[in-house]
Amino acid sequence: MRENQHWTVEKELWVENRLGLHARPAAKIATTARQFDAEIILEKEGLEVNAQDLLDVLALDCPQGTRLVLRTRGPQAREAATSVTSLFARKFDES
Amino acid sequence: MTEQNRYFRGIPASPGIVIGPAHVLTQEGQVSTRLLYTQQEVAEELARFNHAVDQTEDELSRLKQEIAGDMKEHAHILELHLLILRDRMLLLETQKLIKEQNFNAERALYQAFLKIKEVFQRIGDKHIRGRIQDVEAVYRRLLGHLTGRGHTKSFEFPEPVIIVARDLSPAETTQMSSTQVMGFITERGGKTSHTAIIAHALEIPAVVGMDSATLEIESGELVIVNGLTGRVIINPDETVQHSYRVRKEEFEHFKMEVTQGSSLPAVTNDGHPNRVLANIELPEEVALAQKYGADGVGLYRTEFLYLRRRQLPSEEELFQHYRQAVEAMPSREVTIRTLDIGGDKFLSPLEYAPEMNPALGLRAIRFCLKEQKIFRTQLKAILRASAFGKVRIMFPLISSPRELREARVLLESVKEDLAREGVAFDGQLPVGAMIEVPAAVTLADLLVREADFFSIGTNDLIQYALAIDRGNKSVADMYEPLHPAVMRMVRDVVEVSRRAGIRVAMCGEMAGDPLYIPVLLGLGVEELSMNPTSIPVVKRVIRMTSLQEAREIARQALTLATVEEVNDYVSREMDLRFPDIFRFGRPLAVNVA
């Protein structure tokens, strides 16, 4: 059903920080995602999770080098996508 | 001052002797489980849970505030815990279980936590997988608020204790370590209960099935637990304490002697090799089996993943378990027994009418041939695991060649599926029949054409052959492994196997009891499968016996008409040959420290 619906943003993200999406980055993603009025999805190899759900993001199992697809929609879809993308780009302020 | 030297008896569940202060887990102290019956109750339970969540949140926020500037790292962890507390998987799942399954809050929370734990176990990255610790920390804090204990670390004691409880749940035992807990006494449970398994894993003595233990024993009282005999002594005086300390030392010494030889091959002293194998239930037990010197796994029970849960395990989950066991035992055989369970054991989704006589009911291979979807899933998982080591498969409760044939046909069809999907498996996987129904003994010469090996399951065979229900206290003492009928059955099955050139093993408690070993060797049994802790003593007996004298003992025993005569004869022979082995009770198991 969802496949037929329209996403405002759909883009590729790469996990570049050394330790991958461990606790702190995942917490940052979830905290950031919760600030927006938007549906924010992260997809890895066909598995989708809501970016607001910390444990789901952790369970997605994303070490360094993982490719993800970010999808957003809703009133603040663009802002949300920008913020999440920026987190990834800054390597979650880690090395 | 309470009365001294109060003697009680339970079921010995994990070997060893220990003296120490008791710690009684009261009902409130445990993760209680009960079902809710009315909508009113459900609403109250939800409110109680939500209140506990609020309290936990307040506590975490307060702790965060209190953290000094140079402890930033810690603040981050608390931040993480706050997020976990409100996470869908923990919060919504618990609420859902309360609403839909009518679980009380503690049980619902525990189930939700277990589910998360399962998800995390599948995570490949070990840093990420390790975050389950944070989930667990939140779970415990929340549970503390639920049970009204606050966040007390309930299983940390100033000194090591002996835990006394009605029963121990997996939730509780995961919080215990052998540095904190010296032994267990429980009111419920049997030799194969969860408490027994954990006690073996922690290598501490345990006595289970001691009625009213939590009423008889008070926290702080000194108790002696003899996990060899099932004896419990409350408040022992100096003399009794001394005698048990001596016995404990003797046992430790004996244990050392026995375990030193446990890695040696199971060869009789006149040079005939045998195989001593392990019975296991969890993949983790493979390590234990190896430590005790097992030549392989002779019986891998697979019921565990199907019990106490609402959903059937997936093929992937089964496969991961089997593979873990198989890979942990490289180059040695792992014999997987397919589901040996009755419909009654499934809570749901399968609804079965309760059976009047489950031992004679729809169970094991009968159940699997009826519920082929469940069976195929398991067969597929076993076959997939066979690509990772030496796997054998065996079918329980076979009573006719037809059943064995049908099971094999299914197995072949699953193989075809896998081959079509391009999934690897062992095409030569040996297929065995368990001989545990008297009909199978009688038809052994026909079954042997369809089987690559036999495994005699003595627990059921004795029960069916003698028509004795071991769970029934009024006849339990008539359960006699050395009954002439049983001995003849074993002799006949071995004879048929030998003529056909297939291997025959024995699993079941009889195979792990040193008293019976020479008789069994004499009857021609060369593969014995038992609980890992029984292996060292059994190996010792084998290494001290000659096949020639074993044959003589078996020959003599077979001439006797009554089980009483056989028991007398065998006990006498064994006492003569092994005066030291039965000093500490029987069947004797030892923990390698």
Place of tokens 């109750």: B41
Q: Tell me whether strands A39-44 and B17-24 are parallel, antiparallel or unpaired.
A: unpaired
SS3 B357: coil
DSSP codes, B400-466: SHHHHHHHHHHHHHHHHHHHHHT----TT--EEEEE-SHHHHHTHHHHTTT-SEEEEEHHHHHHHHH
Average pLDDT for residues B375-393, to the nearest whole number?
Answer: 97
Distance CA B137, CA B133 (A): 6
The answer to whether residue B588 scores a pLDDT higher than 60 is no
Q: Does A11 touch chain B (CB under 8 A)?
A: no
Residue contact B120–A54, C-beta within 8 A: no
Q: Which of A20, A53, A55 sits opposite B135 (nearest CB)?
A: A55
Pick the CATH number of B267-530 from 3.30.930.10, 3.20.20.60, 3.60.70.12, 3.40.50.150: 3.20.20.60
Average pLDDT taken over every residue of chain B: 87
Q: Which residues pair with B300 in a beta bridge?
A: B280, B336
Share of chain A above pLDDT 70, in %: 94
**B272 CB-side CA count, 13 A:** 18
Distance from CA of B465 to the nearest CA of A (A): 51
Residues 6 or more apart whose Cβ sits within 8 Å of residue B14: B184, B196, B199, B200, B203, B204, B205, B206, B227, B533, B589, B591
Q: Does A27 touch chain B (CB under 8 A)?
A: yes
Distance from CA of B129 to the nearest CA of A (A): 8
Token pair for B321: 């378990």
Is B368 annotated as catalytic? no
Name the burial class of residue B582, with classes exposed (0-12), middle (13-18) and buried (19+) by CB atoms within 10 angstroms of its CB.
Answer: middle
Distance CA A77, CA A20 (A): 25
Residue contact A56–B131, C-beta within 8 A: no
CATH architecture of the domain B6-27+158-256 equals: 3-Layer(bba) Sandwich (3.50)
Q: Which of B84, B123, B125 sits opposite A54 (nearest CB)?
A: B84
Domain A2-93 superfamily per CATH: HPr-like (3.30.1340.10)
For the segment B498-531, what is each residue's pLDDT rounded down to a tens digit? 999 999 999 988 999 899 999 999 999 999 999 8
Q: What part of A 64-93 touches B (C-beta under 8 Å)?
A: none
Average pLDDT for residues B154-165, to the nearest whole number?
Answer: 78
Place of tokens 């239930």: B281
Residue contact B88–A56, C-beta within 8 A: yes
Domain B39-146 superfamily per CATH: PtsI, HPr-binding domain (1.10.274.10)
The structural domains of chain B, with segments of one domain joined by +, span 6-27+158-256, 39-146, 267-530
Q: Give the long-range contacts of residues B584-587, CB within 8 A, separation 24 or more.
A: B584/B15, B584/B228, B584/B229, B584/B247, B584/B250, B584/B251, B584/B254, B585/B12, B585/B228, B585/B229, B586/B513, B586/B514, B586/B515, B587/B509, B587/B512, B587/B513, B587/B514, B587/B515, B587/B534
Q: Of the ranges B24-28, B297-301, B329-333, which one carries the lowest mean pLDDT score?
A: B24-28
Q: Of all helices (H) and strands (E), which one includes residue B139?
A: helix B132-146
Q: pLDDT value at position B357?
A: 74
- Number of Cβ within 10 Å of residue A32's Cβ equals 17
Token pair for B291: 């430590």
Buried b (16+ CB within 10 A) or exposed e, B112-146: bbebbeebbeebebeebbebbebbbbbbbbbbbbb
Q: pLDDT value at position B150?
A: 44
Q: In chain A, what residues touch B90 (CB-CB under 8 Å)?
A: 55
Q: Which residues pair with B208 in a beta bridge?
A: B11
Question: Cα dist. B191→B115, B134, B297, B303, B593 in Å?
Answer: 27, 34, 19, 16, 20
Q: pLDDT value at position B1?
A: 47
- Tell me how far apart the terminal alpha carbons of chain B are, to the nearest angstrom: 36
Distance CA B225, CA B15 (A): 10
The structural domains of chain A, with segments of one domain joined by +, span 2-93
For the segment B389-444, what is each residue's pLDDT rounded down to a tens digit? 999 999 999 999 999 999 999 999 999 999 999 999 999 999 999 999 999 999 99
Q: Please answer whether residues B591 and B533 qualify as being in contact, where contact means their C-beta atoms are separated by less than 8 angstroms.
A: yes
Alpha helices in B270-314 (DSSP H): 285-291
Q: Global pTM?
A: 0.61
SS3 B512: helix
Average pLDDT for residues B77-85, to the nearest whole number?
Answer: 89
Q: pLDDT value at position B353?
A: 57
Q: Of the ranges B64-68, B87-91, B114-118, B298-302, which one carries the lowest mean pLDDT score?
A: B64-68
**B491 CB-side CA count, 13 A:** 16
Q: Which amino acid is at B248?
A: K
**B89 CB-side CA count, 13 A:** 25
Q: pLDDT value at position B343?
A: 59
Question: Cα dist. B508→B198, B463, B481 in Å?
Answer: 20, 12, 10
